Amino acid sequence: MSKTDNQGRTVYCHFNFKRPKGKNFGYFAVAMYYDYEGKELAAKVTRMLPLWKNHQFVSAIQAYEHALYSIYKWQGIMLSKGFTNVMLVTDNSILAGWITDPKKNKAYTGYMNKAVEPYRAGGTMEITLGVGLCRPRDHEKSYKYCNAKEVVNDVKPVVVEKSENGTKNVIDLSATNMAYKTISEIEKDNINKPEIVGMD
């Protein structure tokens, strides 16, 4: 990231995935933008990862986990450049509903727990930035990076569930139960204020 004049500002994290047909891996991409519209790219990364399960909804949750992992990996440089808040951007309304309410569909609560557990306060990869969720939009802007030529060659640890029953709500990334500020509170000087979904 190259901008240095954005003290306390927000970056927008678009994320998605692609599952090649007949393969047991997927391409998971994250694209960080300085603006909500996704016109000014700050950073991007694509990783080829083994699928938790060859299933559309599970892979969507895995893409969410990959977004959190990328935020964790980049949070040091983001903080050094004055960025303190990350807004997640997805075009998947079902996933957005599960992010706001992990128990909405109990069949996938265990996967949601698996996605978030390491990044909670006190977790092995704790995220210290503020994280929020924009309302689902028609098109997010990371899917175009879900391909082999964009893949980076780094090593991502395998996420392991800590809870066997999968009933604990571990979506909270902070000790304050994710009491997020509204986008207007975060960026009062931003004319184009997207609607967001609170995660309390």
145-187: pLDDT as tens digits: 999 999 987 656 554 444 444 333 333 344 333 333 333 333 3
**What pLDDT is recorded for position 158?**
52
Residue 153 is predicted with a pLDDT of 72
Average pLDDT of the residues in 110-115: 95
What's the confidence (pLDDT) of residue 94?
Answer: 96
Instruction: Say whether pLDDT at 5 is over 60.
Output: no
Task: Scan for tokens 């391409």, then name that residue.
Answer: 27
- What is the rounded average pLDDT of the residues 119-143? 93
- Residue 174 C-beta-side C-alpha neighbours within 13 Å: 14
User: What's the mean pLDDT in 78-101?
Assistant: 94
Tell me the fold of 9-197: Nucleotidyltransferase; domain 5 (3.30.420)
Q: From CA 43, how far away is CA 171, in angstroms rounded?
A: 25
Q: Specify the pTM.
A: 0.76
Average pLDDT over residues 134-154: 91
**Higher pLDDT residue, 122 or 188?**
122
Among 21-25, 78-82, 164-168, the least confident range: 164-168
Q: What is the pLDDT of residue 154?
A: 66
State yes or no: pLDDT of 85 exceeds 90: yes
Q: Please say if the pLDDT value at position 62 is more than 80.
A: yes
Give the residue with greater pLDDT, 74 vs 173. Answer: 74
- Model pLDDT, residue 7: 47
* Between 63 and 190, residue with greater pLDDT: 63
